[in-house]
Amino acid sequence: MREEIKRGDIKDSYFLTDENDFIKEEIIRLLETILIKEKTGVFDKTKFYGDELPDDVYRQMCSPPIASKRHLSVIFNIDRIRKGKEQIKKAIESSSPLLCIVLTAGKTNNRKTIKSIEWFLNNVYTLRCGRFSRKEIERWILETVENSGSGISRDAIDLLWEFTGDNMFSLHSEIEKLLAFKPDEKIGVEEVKAIVGEERMLSISTLERAICDGDIAGGIKALENLFMWGDDPTAILYRLKVWLSASLSGKGWKGSLGFDDAAAAISMLMETELAIKLGKTDGKFALEDLVYKLTNRK
């Protein structure tokens, strides 16, 4: 699908399903780059969440572009839609050459979910964005580096995996830093150690501990270290979500947050993630505010 979009073969509507949010966001960013002019982006693209659609969603989705090639409308989590489904169907059926509509949904592996999105699966160009296996991620790392005109050793790929696992957001962030450090040379183990580094990986654990202990100063300092290493706010949110989910299920490390604290923290994290995705706030500012609230919850 990405190669089709790069060639200019852009559909009127897309449906991106399953749990690989990185691939979904990569496709959305690619469409934004090709279709939207930066100066009029605030007018020529709209983003909504399925459970928070405005009453006039059809009108907003179908607004003609001011200066861009098309008006891009993105609706995240269409599987959680409460109202407005008929308006969205109407917009899709209009097949206007001035519009491009992107819908996303989570995993579609149960009957209830499939039934709620069946019309979209049958009528919209669909891509299932499943979680990558380790081999697929390794191949993606190699292709991403080579497409940038550089190279990377097999051992370096293995070490990147050890540091980040299957967190595609974090991997992408680290690869960008590595390419900036050695744009025209092959990336090896030493470069991964120097740029990614064990010390940097400890910062997220320090942040978790500060949240757990209610240490505001320690939490902000750990966050500043992550920003200094060039970590993307989305990647930091993802890691915090993994930790909080483990705490919620009772599988976190000894001394992790209890169930009630973890549930409240996840709720705050989801609100922050939504605000960042919808462009309502700067990612770094939103994370600083979140860490302050989480460490100051007691």
Measured CA to CA in angstroms, residue 144 lies from 7, 49, 139, 175, 234 at distances of 18, 30, 9, 8, 19
Task: Check: pTM over 0.85? Answer yes or no.
Answer: no
User: Does residue 124 sit in the same domain as residue 20?
Assistant: yes
* CATH code, domain with 15: 3.40.50.300
pLDDT at 13: 93
User: Does residue 8 sit in the same domain as residue 94?
Assistant: yes
User: Does residue 123 sit in the same domain as residue 14?
Assistant: yes
pLDDT at 252: 53
User: Does residue 45 sit in the same domain as residue 118?
Assistant: yes
Q: Give the pLDDT confidence of 28-86 residue by residue, as tens digits.
A: 999 999 998 877 777 888 888 888 888 898 998 888 888 889 999 999 988 888 788 89
User: Does residue 10 sit in the same domain as residue 36?
Assistant: yes
Q: Are 112 and 73 in contact (CB under 8 A)?
A: no
Q: How many CB atoms lie within 10 A of CB 154?
A: 11
Residue 256 banded pLDDT, cuts 50, 70, 90: low
User: Does residue 172 sit in the same domain as residue 112?
Assistant: no
Q: Give the pLDDT confidence of 153-196 residue by residue, as tens digits.
A: 999 998 888 777 777 887 888 888 888 876 677 888 888 877 77
User: Does residue 106 sit in the same domain as residue 219?
Assistant: no
Task: Give the SS3 label for residue 241.
Answer: helix
User: Does residue 178 sit in the same domain as residue 228?
Assistant: no
Q: Are 190 and 161 in contact (CB under 8 A)?
A: no
Domains held by the chain: number: 3
Tokens of 98: 């001035």
User: Does residue 13 sit in the same domain as residue 114?
Assistant: yes
Name the phi and psi angles at 188, rounded to 5: -120, -175
Residue 298 has pLDDT above 70, yes or no: no
Beta strands per DSSP E along 18-104: 45-49, 71-76, 99-104
* CATH code, domain with 214: 1.20.272
